[in-house]
């Protein structure tokens, strides 16, 4: 899993957790490094709206490639993100994409569930 800097210490003793300081673009090499061949779930809160098109495309495609066939890419973004920031890329590589708004959350969020 990719964790933010600073959150790492509380997981250091947990043998189930592997921490890498790397970009989500590298997920395809990081999953095998952790001893797994494919992932059940990729959970992401990285800011897709800030990335150039090629980086969004590369991250979503790589994520699809590391997931098991019954896995899921679960991503959350703030609610004002547009489809062009993430959903269109998910629809390119995943067979089913569902998005839900959580307007009562602070800040309001949009959750994307993408299935291979
Ligand atoms: C808005 S913060 C979200 C923090 C946390 N995930 C949460 O939801 O509270 C965005 C985080 O994404 C990380 N990030 C940005 N670009 C990334 C990338 N290409 N790969 C991995 N992490 C990235 C940043 O370092 C930052 O910690």
Q: Which CATH number does the domain housing residue 63 bear?
A: 3.40.50.150
Q: Is the shortest distance between the CB of 109 and ligand 1 below 6 Å?
A: no
Query: Which atom of ligand 1 has the smallest separation from the CA of 55?
Result: 19
pLDDT at position 14: 85
In a domain, 65, yes or no: yes
In a domain, 24, yes or no: no
Query: Which atom of ligand 1 has the smallest separation from the CA of 23?
Result: 20
78 forms beta bridges with 109
Check residues 35 and 67 and name the one with the higher pLDDT: 67
Ligand 1 probe mutation, 26, 29, 45, most atoms within 8 A of CB:
45
The answer to whether 26 and 33 are in contact (CB under 8 A) is no
Q: Is the shortest distance between the CB of 58 and ligand 1 below 6 Å?
A: no
Question: For residue 3, what pLDDT band results from cuts at 50, 70 and 90?
Answer: low
Domain of residue 86 covers 36-115
In a domain, 109, yes or no: yes
Tally of domains within the chain: 1
Instruction: Show the CA angle centred on residue 92, arms to residues 60 and 74, nearest 5°.
Output: 45
In a domain, 44, yes or no: yes
Query: Which atom of ligand 1 has the smallest separation from the CA of 59?
Result: 19
In a domain, 98, yes or no: yes
In a domain, 66, yes or no: yes
Query: How large is the average pLDDT for residues 26-49?
Result: 93
In a domain, 100, yes or no: yes
Average pLDDT, the chain: 91
Task: Say what the pTM is.
Answer: 0.90
In a domain, 22, yes or no: no
pLDDT at position 6: 61
Q: 3 alpha carbon to ligand 1 midpoint, in Å?
A: 8
Whether residue 5 has pLDDT greater than 60: no
């Amino acid at each position: 899993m990719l964790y933010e800097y600073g959150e790492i210490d509380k997981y250091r003793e947990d043998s189930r957790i592997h921490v890498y300081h790397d970009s989500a673009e590298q997920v395809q090499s990081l999953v095998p490094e952790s001893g797994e061949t494919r992932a059940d779930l990729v959970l992401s809160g990285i800011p897709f709206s800030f990335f150039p098109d090629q980086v969004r495309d590369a991250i979503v495609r790589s994520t699809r490639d590391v997931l098991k066939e019954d896995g899921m890419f679960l991503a959350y973004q703030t609610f004002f993100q547009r489809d062009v920031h993430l959903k269109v890329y998910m629809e390119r590589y995943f067979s089913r994409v569902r998005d839900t708004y959580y307007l009562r959350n602070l800040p309001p969020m949009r959750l994307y569930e993408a299935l291979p």
